[in-house]
Amino acid sequence: MSEFPRMTVAVSVATVWTKPESPRPLDELALRNPAEIREWLKRMTLDDKLDLWGGNRIQTQILYGTSVLVVEELEDWVQVLIPQQGTRKEALGYPGWVPRCQLASVPDAPEDSKWADVITTHAWLYRNPSERWIELSYLTSLPVIEETEEWVEVKTPEGSGYLKADEVRLIDSPLAPKLGEDHIGRGIVEEGRRFLDLPYLWGGMSSFGYDCSGFAYNMHRYFGILIPRDASDQAKQGILVDKEQLEPGDLLFFAHEEGKGAVHHVGIYVGDNQMIHSPESIKSIEIVDLSSYKLAKEHCMSRRYWG
């Protein structure tokens, strides 16, 4: 068991920074509570977005209500580990820094509580059934207090709130959905399709913007499959699949030096020699034909996590 204390994310999406000095003045919108994620993304130029990677500024993101481990507090910043996001960087979870104002004490969840998972692209959390509060991302998960036909009352880091019943699914615990899919791989692809044309975001882990591995991670998480956070780690686990045996939902990995170097990209196999992926900062989530894809020669391996 970890001896680190726990805290909970108290904004719609908390961006996890490499160090407290990593944010630029233009990132102030993403450091607030509430985090103004839409406005932050809207104001960034392409060069600003490219600098998130080039300047090694962002590590990952975490959704509202997610529990994190607190390693260190430094003035207005907290160094955290994210247990849900597996990485070789740290055995206990993905590391990085989050503004102190975006974290809160862990709320006491009702015993044996179900959890409400947001399954629409975005969903509003309401203070009461007539007052909007926070716009949440797909797959935000909160413990349930009470259910009605129209509303689900949930426990939040700041008291109770309400989600529309038709925008969530109820599960027994985080990452434990009831699976009704005959072929989970095809389900992964179909979930991915809903995000076509969503702009890429380096470090993105929300339906406001995904990076390549964040997209793969979350499409699997919808089905209760927890895979590593980064493409380089995703390429080391799962079942190795030959090119001739590929099925929808398999992950395709791409490495520098025409497949011989370090893994730097991942996509999801759609079938018919096509792939859906979140490509790069100048583009949005798209489906490409592998025979004409610019990185085709870099395809180094494929892995299956759903079978």
How far is residue 213's CA from residue 233's CA, in Å, rounded to a whole number?
A: 10
Check 220, 277, 299, 300 and give the catalytic one: 277
The answer to whether the beta carbons of residues 266 and 230 sit under 8 Å apart is no
Q: Residue type at 115? A: W
Within 8 A by CB and 6+ apart from 91, the residues are none
Catalytic residue among 212, 220, 299, 300: 212
Alpha carbon 111 to its chain centroid, in Å, reads 27
Contact 13, 61 (CB under 8 A): yes
Q: Is 101 known to be catalytic?
A: no
**Spatial distance between the Cα atoms of 280 and 139, rounded to a whole number of angstroms:** 23
214 closest CA partner among 203, 199, 223: 203
Q: Within a 10 A sphere around the Cβ of 67, how many other Cβ atoms?
A: 18
Instruction: Kindly state the tokens that stand for 55.
Output: 């300047």
Alpha-carbon span 243 to 58, nearest angstrom: 33
In angstroms, rounded to a whole number, what is the distance separating the alpha carbons of residues 98 and 100? 6
Nearest-5° angle of CA 138, CA 108, CA 150? 45
Query: What whole-number distance in Å separates Cα of residue 61 and Cα of residue 48?
Result: 17
What is the CA angle 171-176-177, rounded to 5? Answer: 60
- Say whether 277 is catalytic: yes
Residue 18 zone, left/alpha/beta (φ > 0; ψ -120 to 50; rest): alpha
* Active site positions, annotated: 212, 265, 277
